[in-house]
């Protein structure tokens, strides 16, 4: 994970929070089977921060190594991601006061 790309980007930190929040809510599944997608994390993000974010921000988190794509639905309309290192993401969110 490249921290320099997110340390001074509050929006990316908030999006990472929404991803992690959704990922945690799927705790009935083993962590290796949990996935997220844009439409699933958009609601918790909007509920907490009052605005939406563009789907391209998930690709940016992928470029930085926080997410990794795992599947694309038929027609490419929905991309699913995994969180690369949930423990490190949790620690970073605590550091940024996002819990």
- The 8-class DSSP code of residue 51 comes to S
CATH number at residue 28: 1.10.10.10
How close are the terminal C-alpha atoms of the chain, in Å?
20
For 8-53, what is each residue's pLDDT tens digit?
999 999 999 999 999 999 888 998 889 999 999 999 999 999 999 9
Could you tell me the pLDDT band of residue 75, with boundaries at 50, 70 and 90? low
The domain total for the chain is 1
How many helices (H) and strands (E) are present in the chain, helices listed first?
Answer: 5, 3
Q: Which domain holds residue 22?
A: 4-95
Among all chains, which residue has been given the structure tokens 């699913």?
80
From its phi and psi, is residue 52 left (phi > 0), alpha (psi between -120 and 50) or beta? beta
């Amino acid at each position: 994970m490249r921290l320099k790309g997110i340390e001074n980007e509050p929006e990316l930190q908030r999006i990472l929070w929404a991803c992690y929040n959704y990922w945690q809510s799927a705790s009935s599944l083993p962590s290796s089977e949990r996935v997220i997608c844009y439409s699933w994390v958009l609601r918790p993000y909007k509920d907490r921060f009052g605005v939406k974010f563009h789907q391209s921000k998930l690709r940016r988190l992928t470029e930085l190594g926080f997410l990794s794509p795992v599947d694309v639905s038929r027609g490419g309309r929905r991309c699913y991601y995994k969180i690369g290192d949930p423990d490190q993401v949790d620690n970073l969110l605590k550091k940024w006061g996002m819990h």
